[in-house]
Amino acid sequence: MIDFLLYTMEYKGDFIDSDISLKQYTDCCFEEYKRIYEDCFFEMRSALGLLPINACDSREELLKKSNDIYIYIENGSMIGSVAIFGNEIDELIVAKEFQRKGYGQMLLNFAISHIQKNSVSPISLCVTDWNKGAINMYLKNGFQIMKTEQIKGA
């Protein structure tokens, strides 16, 4: 495992009113969710030497968190998902075939709006320095780096 930086970011932007309709995770989504999740994190986990490489939660663990995981489906295809745990945005994923088409932005806006409507603050998330695309998206959308931790490799 190599050393990397973990950034904790907080949202400092304006109020967002998202009208996108997402559904909560259900067990029937497991196989597709697992595929998208593992596709999204495979390259990063491999590059950073994080084991296991395929680290999607088990079916049972996802069901325990199902009230906090939101899935976006369009034309019968799962596009992506975002998890919201209190004030934290986590596991924002977009299927590889739908990346770079604005869906990540849409999921991020949904998450910010959802948290704001529930009056939870500050809105935060964590991201590794490896994921430069996500860092840029977060910075462009009102997030600021509040804390940097160096994670030592094994």
Query: What are phi and psi for residue 67, nearest 5 degrees?
Result: -70, -15
When pLDDT is cut at 50, 70 and 90, the band that residue 20 belongs to is very high
pLDDT of residue 18: 95
Rounded Cα gap, residues 17 and 11, in angstroms: 15
Look at residues 89, 90, 112, 86 and name the one whose alpha carbon lies nearest to residue 14. 112
pTM for the model: 0.94
pLDDT digits (tens, 9 = 90+) for 89-139: 999 999 999 999 999 999 999 999 999 999 888 999 999 999 999 999 999
pLDDT of residue 9: 98
Rounded Cα gap, residues 116 and 102, in angstroms: 21
Q: Residue range 17-38: average pLDDT?
A: 96
Domains observed in the chain: 4-151 (3.40.630.30)
Q: Residue range 10-25: average pLDDT?
A: 96
